Chain A
Amino acid sequence: MTQPQSNVRRDRADHIVDVKDVSFGYTASPVVEDISFTVERGEYVGMIGPNGSGKSTLLRLILGLHEPDEGQVELLGHPARAFAEREKVGYVAQDVTENTKRMPITVAEVVLMGRFPHAGFGRVTSDDRDRARQALRTVGIDHLADRKITQLSGGQRQRAYIARALASEAELLVLDEPTVGVDAESVDAFFDLLTDLNDDGMTILLVEHDIGAVLEHTSRVICLNRELYFDGDPVAFADSDALDRAYGTNVRRDDGVVVS
């Protein structure tokens, strides 16, 4: 590209995520194949697919944790593997505290980690602490700041990780099956929080096994099973046969695939 025009540049910068012809496989057989899509600023995208469909792998590719075999992934206009401007990317995985069960660390300390990329090798300032505290208020658990993170319920813990992303001033929130192990009542409140954040301008990319939740809450559905089966409006998705094709014919149409 020679002499990029200014409007082209702005165009590219507004692609928060840009996946181009990406294929990847751990062994000879591809886990994801020839996938392309972009996520624009302010979108709320839900990614669904059956178990082993490669949706978590695709997420890892987007985050730069894997190098694609073919194609390119750009995050915030930079190659994903360059890990540039990462304070703008918030990441919430399945409840990771399982592995670090006994590690003594408070909620406030975890949320403050969101400020670490800003602080670099310098000291954490009182401004950093204020922002962390503010983020805790936003997700509604500032009264738990001095609790050990292991003492929180699954739903509270996921809120803490979102607070960490907010403290980091993230523009993109990437969630990998965040509601696994979270009780039903908290799940609803959790999705309400995501909707609020999206209303405030946060771009959200959500991988979720609960199809109903994705159709209900997101504004765009990406359905994949190794390849891309559907990309578009939740209503159009419900009307299409993409679900049957992606999941195979005998899919359990459980919890309310019908959109209200």
Chain B
Amino acid sequence: MTASAAVVAITSVPYNALEWLIEHWSDELREIGAELGIEMLEYTFMHHAFLVGALIAVMAPLIGTFLVHRQLALIGDALAHTAFAGVAVGLFVNATFGTGISPYITAVVVAMIAALAIELISEVTDAYNDVSMAIVLSTGFALGAVLISFNTGGLAVGINQYLFGNLATVSRENVIILVVLFVVVTLVVLLTYKQLLYVTFDETAARVAGLRVPWYNRVMAMLTAMVVVGAMQIMGVILVAAMLVVPVAGAAQFARSFREALLASVILAQIAVLVGITLSYQYETTAGGTIVLVAVAIYIGAVLVGKVQSHQVTAEETRSIPDEEPAD
């Protein structure tokens, strides 16, 4: 708990309120578990895991929908790897100066700086480019690896937790960090939904309409950084981007409107997280990997549903072949 001493000093009231809420959530789940005889709901860490999972399954597809439909899925991966550098910075600082800052806090800071850097580079070069994104990705990961190797001994276990995620280590403090990230991300998206949608659909038209496109791109990149760090606790650096992409790709198979796509991707992600966490508890597998496998299975199901659906649509409306159809 010393880790958050600084944070607590500034924001002790909301912090205590959140703590109370999380305890309350825990009690509720424990009761439900006792009543229905669900064994895994006896443990506080599982309460935390389900809460964190549910929040991740809202904000990851929320941001992911905007990213995927701009062909920017890779940015999540790049930021996750730079977030790993942020974790390393946190561990390094703690080991060197004996402080107790949560590595997730430093991860958020570093990832957001990286997000801004990626945006500014793309503004200058006038394109998101695979190569520069790949360079940012590897630089982040390499930096993390090197920083961690400075702290020899005792840290190996800690790294695994960040690389692959871990259900059992989701502390109450980490839950609070995630809740704060969740609130910020959802509020910003609610506030700028229209602008983000316009920019996602047609950047040039959005610029002509007077929207400050670079500004919204920066906002989007920063939100991505927050989501990635938030989801890292369970998913781990390596698999976190999957939560941004897989449910969204699944939803796109059958959704007609953008709102439908958003909603469907959140629902698919919730299913993946709930089933994934339960399975990983039952079979003692790693949570991140299990969740992603469930998500991919759902995606395959969605592809099949989408195929059947589009067959029906084709039959109904005798859909156009581009070069004919007297349309108007």
Contacts and interface: CB of A to CB of B under 8 A. Distances in A.
Task: Pick from A91, A108, A141 the residue with the most CB of B within 10 Å.
Answer: A91
A158 to B, nearest CB: 9
A38 interface: no
Contact of A156 (B256, B259, B328): B328
Given A96-B205, A116-B195, A116-B209, A146 B328 contact: no
Interface in A144-194: 146-148, 151-156, 159, 161, 168, 174, 181-183, 185-186, 189-190
Contact of B327 (A91, A96, A156, A174): A156
B326 A183 contact: yes
B202 to A, nearest CB: 5
B204 A155 contact: no
Contacts of A256: none
B73 interface: no
B92 to A, nearest CB: 40
Contacts, number: 117
Contacts of A146: 256-257
Contacts of B197: 109, 113
A104 B255 contact: yes
Given A96-B202, A154-B322, A86 B260 contact: no
Interface string B160-201: 000000000000000000000000000000011011011011
A100 interface: yes
B256 A103 contact: no
A151 B319 contact: yes
Contact of B320 (A116, A117, A153, A189): A153
A147 B207 CA distance: 25
A86 B209 contact: yes
Contacts of A147: 256
B209 A168 contact: yes
B35 interface: no
A109 B256 CA distance: 11
B100 to A, nearest CB: 39
B120 to A, nearest CB: 19
13 contacts: A63-B208, A102-B69, A106-B256, A109-B258, A113-B197, A113-B209, A117-B211, A124-B194, A147-B256, A153-B325, A156-B327, A168-B209, A185-B326
Interface of B: 69, 191-192, 194-195, 197-198, 200-202, 204-205, 207-211, 251-252, 255-261, 313, 317, 319-320, 322-328
